[in-house]
């Protein structure tokens, strides 16, 4: 064991550990969850430290040899993907300071292993010109942006899947329903196309919200004034982060605002919540339309994925829409957490970014996975019970709505009431009472006219 000391006191640290006293204190202080800081935050933090070392070196505030050791340590970490030295819990007090210090410690200790003759200080060298208050939110934004491509890829697949289903079932007529009561007919093609349109809006919302995350506070240091950072560093740190991360970030024009306010996270979280709401609504529809099969709507046939009961043989449940619903409930809760955490910020800093980052990054991943299983394990092999749908339309009295422009609302209502009371079709009533001739009736009740096609 080695002894390390900070402003609180001394502590034993395992000899071979790359982390140090600050990370170890975090583990003891925050036994909230076994979940560690997201690996994309750590990856982004390493890229930030690499860029900072390069920028400080060019500004002549960091020794060249120290700079090279830090950069090599960062490259080794990024190449190996070995993040075993990063031990801070995802939920932590201190506004992310534990994660920043853990990163400084790991890089400094690894750099000294690479060049034992050069002492690297976690604060003075690795953290030079920086503060947790500008690096942590920057790493968080970078991590969120790195998860967006996979999220959008699944969203685009979802849109394509519903578009294809819309084409496949373009002429499959069905009853519409409003407030769970029979309404005028439509087609499954139109329904599936509407779902595609819904999720296209989600794509646009997430893209728009993502743009806000590209504005970062690097160079603002503690509260946005840039204390302890050179002018050269402030002017060039973002371009070096972009160079090493291959991202298109830009510096905020008001660093005071950028350090203390977190509305960008609220906007992005809200876009994820909206996607969750839409996924849940569609999943509700799928479960309802597939209900039965004997005593429910039985319009859709969802793929059989697993046995649904330990007691009822051959019972099959809509497990894929169900799991999507649950992810949606979770993400809606995450958004409430992000909203409360952002509102709770005080004066020059928000201390609650750790829970915001955990919530948003988990939401991105879970939504991505939920859409993947919805497409591959449900929508891809979904089928429509065409016979049931057609029979429902044929039997439905509400199809008489087509008569309102000809006979008026009152007489049409009377025809519908008689149809329901006598349990005969609207067509038969029209013929029996000689209200319209058969040719006109057949023309009016043709599927094309019933769906206003």
**Cβ atoms < 10 Å from Cβ of 283:** 23
CA 86 to chain CA mean position, Å: 25
Could you give the CA distance from residue 40 to residue 163 in angstroms, rounded to a whole number?
33
Helix H or strand E segment including 12:
strand 10-13
Q: CB neighbours of 347 closer than 8 A, spacing ≥ 6?
A: 260
Q: What is the dihedral of CA 335, 341, 344, 346, to 10 degrees?
A: -130
Strand 383-384 relative to strand 300-301, pairing: antiparallel
Helix, strand, coil shares of the chain, percent, nearest 5, are: 65, 10, 30
Cα angle: 324, vertex 330, 335; to 5 degrees = 125
Task: Name which of 56, 191, 185, 80 is nearest 130 in CA terms.
Answer: 56
Q: Which of 84, 153, 309, 404 is catalytic?
A: 309
Rounded to whole angstroms, the Cα distance separating 83 from 42 reads 8
Residue 242 exposed, middle or buried by CB count within 10 Å (0-12, 13-18, 19+)? middle
User: With 0-12 CB in 10 A as exposed, 13-18 as middle and 19+ as buried, what is 226?
Assistant: buried
- The SS3 call for residue 171 is coil
Q: Which residue has the tokens 């519409």?
A: 176
| Structural tokens at position 450 | 């019933």
Burial code (b: 16+ CB inside 10 Å, e: under 16) for 140-174 equals bbbbbbbbbebbbebbebbbebbbebbeebeebbb
3-class secondary structure per residue, 417-437: HHHHHHCCCHHHHHHHCCCCC
Residue 309 appears among annotated catalytic residues: yes
Distance of alpha carbon 341 from alpha carbon 167, whole angstroms: 44
Helix (H) or strand (E) holding 121: none
Residues marked active site are found at 309
């Amino acid at each position: 064991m080695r002894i390390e000391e900070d402003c609180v006191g001394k502590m034993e640290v395992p000899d071979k550990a790359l982390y140090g006293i600050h990370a170890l204190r975090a583990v003891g202080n925050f036994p909230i969850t076994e979940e560690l800081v997201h690996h994309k935050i750590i990856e982004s933090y390493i890229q930030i430290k690499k860029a900072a070392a390069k920028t400080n070196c060019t500004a002549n505030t960091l020794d060249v040899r120290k700079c090279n050791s830090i950069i090599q340590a960062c490259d080794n970490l990024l190449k190996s993907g070995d993040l075993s030295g990063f031990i801070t819990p995802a939920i932590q007090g201190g506004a992310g300071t534990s994660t920043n210090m853990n990163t400084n410690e790991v890089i400094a200790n690894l750099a000294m292993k690479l060049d034992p003759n050069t002492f690297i200080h976690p604060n003075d060298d690795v953290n030079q010109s920086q503060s947790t208050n500008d690096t942590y939110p920057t790493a968080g934004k970078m991590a969120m942006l790195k998860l967006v491509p996979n999220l959008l890829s699944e969203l685009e697949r979802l849109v394509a899947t519903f578009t294809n289903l819309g084409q496949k079932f373009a002429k499959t007529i069905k009853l519409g329903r409003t407030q769970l009561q029979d309404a005028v007919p439509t087609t499954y093609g139109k329904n599936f196309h509407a779902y595609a349109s819904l999720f296209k809006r989600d794509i646009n919302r997430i893209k728009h919200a993502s743009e806000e995350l590209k504005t970062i506070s690097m160079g603002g240091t503690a509260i946005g004034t840039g204390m302890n950072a050179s002018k050269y560093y402030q002017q060039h740190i973002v371009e070096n982060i972009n160079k090493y991360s291959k991202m298109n970030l830009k510096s905020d024009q008001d660093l005071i605002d950028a350090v203390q306010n977190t509305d960008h996270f609220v906007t992005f979280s809200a876009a994820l919540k909206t996607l969750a709401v839409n996924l849940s609504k569609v999943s509700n529809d799928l479960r309802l339309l597939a209900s039965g099969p004997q005593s429910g709507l039985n319009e859709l046939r969802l793929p059989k994925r697993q046995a649904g009961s330990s007691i009822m043989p051959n019972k099959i449940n809509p497990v894929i829409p169900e799991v999507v619903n649950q992810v949606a409930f979770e993400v809606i809760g995450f958004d409430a957490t992000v909203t409360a955490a952002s509102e709770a910020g005080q004066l020059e800093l928000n201390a609650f970014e750790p829970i915001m980052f955990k919530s948003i990054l988990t939401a991105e991943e879970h939504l991505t996975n939920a859409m993947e299983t919805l497409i591959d394990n449900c929508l891809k092999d979904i089928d429509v019970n065409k016979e049931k749908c057609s029979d429902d339309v044929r039997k439905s009295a509400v199809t008489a709505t087509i008569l309102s422009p000809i006979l008026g609302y009152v007489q049409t209502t009377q025809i519908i009431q008689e149809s329901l009371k006598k349990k005969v079709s609207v067509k038969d009533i029209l013929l029996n009472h000689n209200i319209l001739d058969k040719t006109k009736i057949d023309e009016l009740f043709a599927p094309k006219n019933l769906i206003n096609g």
